[in-house]
Structure 1
Amino acid sequence: LRLFCAGVEIRLLADVSIKICRPVALEYKRLNTIEPHDAPDPIEVKILRTWITDGFRAERCYLLIDKEGSVIQAIVNSGDERHIELQDTYFDFLPHERLHERTAAQSPLTDYIARFNCIITDRKTPTGKLLLKLQVEDTRANFTEIAIWEAVTKTVNRQSHNSAQFPAIIAVTSLKVSIRNNIYQLASTSATHLYLNPPIDLAKEIATRFNAVTIQTRNMITPKDLLEQKTTEHVQQRFVCNAWITSWNENKSWFYRGCKKCNKKVEKKSRHLDLYCISGTLTDNTTTATAILFDASMELFANTTCSEMIHQYTEKDTIPEPIQALKGQPKIFEL
């Protein structure tokens, strides 16, 4: 989005003044290079949010971001608003099948919209950083994790998300895209903002598609039928079954030391994460199958992190009592 409005001057914080001019063949100034008292050079930015201040002047504020992810707040005098015709919120959504375009280090930040499925992590990391992980799903059944970090986590209303009526649509702005083990991952930046059920046409369209079938019946399958499927025909496809755990594998450890970057097992006693990894027997009266519950799923199932569980139950080869108590409880499993 290029802001070119003749005669409009935007006053930026830190006493920086930039005049937005008509398009000319000039290089755009990066936001992170702006200094107080600089000349009014042109900038190329996207408007993340806009609001009106509570003061007596009722100035219009804009939160601007450039292609490199630098953010700055701009203030427009109320008398100059007539020169700017913009929606309150500007989105530039990228679909899941095009996320590969944004995995390079210098790629533009990405806006993403999908159905909010659940919160899979909400805790501090071993280094003390705040981390909130959301799982979302697009209309093609592509599940993606969004990692929300540090100060941005404080802007998320957990109760509103967890209690939102199905299907809850979430729009998340200014994300970094990465890929690990052929799975796309999205991560917040300082400019990220979350919108639950935003009042835009695309959100309504996505909700309409999901309303055609409920989460409880979509791709519902029994373990018996699932075992008979050809795995090559259902790569990365998810199924739902209503079943329960009848027993845990007592011959293997229920957690492991994982690498902080990739979650792979590490042998050395270096800085690591304690992660769930426990296998059990899954059944629904049609058949039984062995299921492995990894950290994110088990954290939801046990309602506590692996690190917190280890504080009370330190024996790796003895299944903790709270996990034993989960046997026989009917649950909706995503497989």
Structure 2
Amino acid sequence: MTEEFTTIAELGYGAPGTKLELRIVRTWTPQVRTYETWFLAVDKHGDAIQILGQNKDQGYIQSVLNLSKCYTISKYACGEPDAFQKWIDNDVYVVVGMASSISALSDTSTIPRNWFHFVTKKQIPNFINRSPDFLAMFVKFRDCFKKNSEPFTLIILRNNFGEEIAISLWRECTDVSDKFDRIAIQNEAGPTVIAVTNVKVSSVAGSLMLGSTSATHVYVNPRIAETIPLLDSYAINPTSSMTISVPLTSLFDINKKSRAELLEKTFTVKASIADLTFIDTWYHVLCPKCKKTTWKQGNSWFCTSDGVTNNPIYVYKLSATITDPTDSMNVIVSDNVMQKLTNTTTDKLIDDTETNNIRRLPSVINDKKDLSKKSGHRNDEDIKYKQHSIHINRH
């Protein structure tokens, strides 16, 4: 008698099928639900499903299911994902545990090795509160900070139409090496295609924002059919897909805009730095593990989350007054920009013998005043504009 198997498309809530034949393509543990471990699996028809192992079953499932391997699974249940569990457009997920039957299946070419749900930039408005995938050429990283000073990484991509896609990668992605390897991306020789999975599309004050989720993985030159046209397009005309013309905006026009028009937007301006200032201190001292603010403790620094450290991270904490022929405005200058302006890092400017060095601006920084700088999206130097306490930084 022929053995019966169920496909992912046949699964439904409360009515699981017989045996499933699947390949595990991704796994993750949510940052705020550490008792859950999720796996993304695909069947021979190219359909995907989330698999959950949780609580007392979590460790067992983690030891049984391995990335890229194929399995036969039976004795499982189907659940309906809540708002914090749904990372793909499937109305059910598979729940497995120690009572389930899971056996290794010989590797087979009939089950795909990858699964993605790519969308174009034009399709983004159709995916609000959903988590599609994106594929495009890597342009650069930007080191940014949230309003609470927590750092995050902005990855800039560009598709074959020359359209820019900016995705905020939060720490739940960047702090996990299996999900994100910045050094590997930066060291990749030649043009680099990047796939970013499970990106949350959110609407904030009328603007669409792209941010990573617990399920986000960043792949470098993925071995899929869609990678080849992108690389071919770059090989034919490398400048057309990597460089686009960005119009300049005057400071006068920016200052006229309302709060809603400024929120999470990026403008390109050509302006001079008239002054560089700080409020309390000109640099931050951050914990090397959690990147939170640390506190001086003798010759060391203390982090409330990770304890004493002798090797903190020093970053610039400066504002600037910039001017152009039309107007002036105050902006926040990122650590990355200041490193380029001064050709040095913060720690090299600190004199440990000076007790008040944290409140005294080094001369090398004062010398940068009145320097004409062009900042914005075509330039390597990026200034986050602050107007009415709002960061103008379109994602």
- The answer to whether residue 342 in structure 2 is matched with residue 320 in structure 1 is no
Residues 1:265 and 1:211: Cα distance change in structure 2 (over 3 Å):
farther
In structure 2, what is the Cα distance between the partners aligned to 1:213 and 1:303?
A: 26
Residue 374 of structure 2: which of 312, 331, 334 is its match? 331
In structure 2, what is the Cα distance between the partners aligned to 1:158 and 1:278?
A: 27
Matching residue of 2:194: 170
- The answer to whether residue 277 in structure 2 is matched with residue 249 in structure 1 is yes
Residue 133 of structure 1: which of 153, 162, 168 is its match? 153
Matching residue of 1:35: none
Identity rate, percent: 15
Residue 112 of structure 1: which of 124, 134, 140 is its match? 134
Preserved contact between residue 252 and residue 317 of structure 1 (Cα < 8 Å):
yes
Partner SS state of residue 220, structure 1: coil
Q: For 1:28-87, what per-residue CA distance to the aligned partner results, in whole angstroms no more than 9, with x for missing partners? A: 9xxxxxxxxxxx952445657xxxxxxxxxxxxxxx8432587523379xx986x6275x
Residue 148 of structure 1: which of 174, 180, 193 is its match? 174
Residue 42 of structure 1: which of 14, 17, 20 is its match? 20
Residues 1:160 and 1:213: Cα distance change in structure 2 (over 3 Å):
closer
Q: CA deviation at 1:244?
A: 3.4
Residues 1:101 and 1:93: Cα distance change in structure 2 (over 3 Å):
same
Matching residue of 2:264: 236
Matching residue of 1:73: 68
Q: For 1:213-260, what per-residue CA distance to the aligned partner results, in whole angstroms no more than 9, with x for missing partners? A: 944x32421223322334433432211112332321266422346798
Structure 1 length as normaliser, TM-score?
A: 0.54
Matching residue of 1:288: 328
Q: For 1:130-163, what per-residue CA distance to the aligned partner results, in whole angstroms no more than 9, with x for missing partners? A: x9934225788663222533534277231448x7
Residues 1:301 and 1:188: Cα distance change in structure 2 (over 3 Å):
farther
Residue 115 of structure 2: which of 66, 90, 96 is its match? 90
Partner SS state of residue 221, structure 2: strand
In structure 2, what is the Cα distance between the partners aligned to 1:132 and 1:68?
A: 29
In structure 2, what is the Cα distance between the partners aligned to 1:284 and 1:258?
A: 34
Preserved contact between residue 255 and residue 276 of structure 1 (Cα < 8 Å):
yes
Amino acid at match of 1:144: I
Amino acid at match of 1:218: V
Q: CA deviation at 1:264?
A: 8.6
Amino acid at match of 1:225: D
Partner SS state of residue 359, structure 2: coil
In structure 1, what is the Cα distance between the partners aligned to 2:358 and 2:199?
A: 36
Partner SS state of residue 193, structure 1: strand
In structure 2, what is the Cα distance between the partners aligned to 1:227 and 1:267?
A: 39
Amino acid at match of 1:318: R
Question: Which runs of 5 or more residues in structure 1 are unaligned?
Answer: 1-5, 8-19, 29-39, 49-63, 103-109, 123-130
Matching residue of 1:107: none
Q: Matches of residues 296-307 of structure 1 in structure 2 within 5 Å?
A: 298=338
Structure 2 length as normaliser, TM-score?
A: 0.47
Residues 1:188 and 1:326: Cα distance change in structure 2 (over 3 Å):
farther
Question: Which runs of 5 or more residues in structure 2 are unaligned?
Answer: 27-38, 42-49, 53-61, 72-105, 145-150, 306-312, 377-381, 386-395
Amino acid at match of 2:134: Y
Amino acid at match of 1:145: S
- The answer to whether residue 212 in structure 2 is matched with residue 186 in structure 1 is yes
Partner SS state of residue 212, structure 2: strand
Matching residue of 1:100: 129
In structure 1, what is the Cα distance between the partners aligned to 2:51 and 2:341?
A: 39
Partner SS state of residue 226, structure 1: helix
